[in-house]
Every structure is written in C-alpha cells, then in structure tokens.
C-alpha cells in the first residue's frame, strides 16, 4: 500500500503504533496525524458531501479539510494533532 506522503529524511523519535480502520500502522513521536496517516494511505477520509476522498489542503489548521474520526468518538483536525500511541483512526472507507 503506497501513501500520498513519503519521508524524505529519516526522522528521530520513538515508534508510535496506531491503527487506521483497524489496520496496524506506525509513525514517529512528534509526527502530526495527517503525516502519520498519509504515509500509509492516499486519503484521510471519505468526503461527506459528495463522492471522493479528502486529504487535507492547507496543512495549517485553516481549511477544515483534514477532520478525521477516532474510534473513541473524537473528531480531530489531522494537521494540528500529534499522533498518539494506540490512536484508532476511522476513515469512513477512504481509498487506501
Ligand atoms: S489541512 Fe487545512 S485544516 Fe488541516
């Protein structure tokens, strides 16, 4: 499975295990959730108002395009949220 983002340099930090739609994934401590997801997937979530997927736009907390659901019921902006160990991201069936 190929992600939309690719690391250009090795990043220090402890491995952070999390899941995307139940599938195990790994990020690095200090990664934003948007990077953690898009290193593994091509989209963050299904678009709720039409066909297609969303992958964020501004990357600075302004456009609201990167909201993702978590299995614990929270909704977070992926571009302003650090990935945490055990986070369980729910994409709503976004294309991998
Ligand atoms: S990508 Fe625009 S608010 Fe997160």
**Paired tokens of 37:** 């997801």
Tally the C-alpha atoms within 13 A of residue 21's C-alpha that lie toward its C-beta: 13
Query: Which residue among 35, 43, 57 has the greatest number of ligand 1 atoms within 8 angstroms of its CB, and so is best to mutate?
Result: 57
41 within ligand 1 shell (Cβ under 6 A) = no
* Residue-level pLDDT at 24: 97
**This prediction's pTM:** 0.92
Radius of gyration for the chain, computed over Cα atoms and rounded to the nearest angstrom: 12
Sites in the chain below the pLDDT cut of 50: none
59 within ligand 1 shell (Cβ under 6 A) = yes
In ligand 1, which atom is closest to the CA atom of 64? Answer: 3
Ligand 1 centroid to Cα of residue 45, in Å, is 13
* Residue-level pLDDT at 65: 94
Which of 96, 94, 89 has the alpha carbon at shortest distance from 36?
89
CATH code linked to domain 29-90: 3.10.20
Ligand 1 centroid to Cα of residue 37, in Å, is 14
């Amino acid at each position: 499975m190929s992600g939309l983002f690719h690391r250009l340099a090795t990043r220090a930090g402890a491995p952070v295990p999390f899941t995307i739609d139940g599938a195990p994934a790994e990020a690095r401590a200090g990664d934003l959730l948007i990077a953690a997801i898009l290193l593994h997937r091509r989209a963050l979530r299904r678009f709720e108002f039409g066909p297609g997927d969303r992958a964020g736009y501004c990357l600075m907390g302004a456009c609201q395009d990167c909201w993702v659901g978590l299995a614990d019921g929270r909704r977070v902006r992926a571009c302003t949220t650090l990935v945490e160990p055990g986070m369980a991201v729910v994409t709503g069936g976004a294309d991998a």
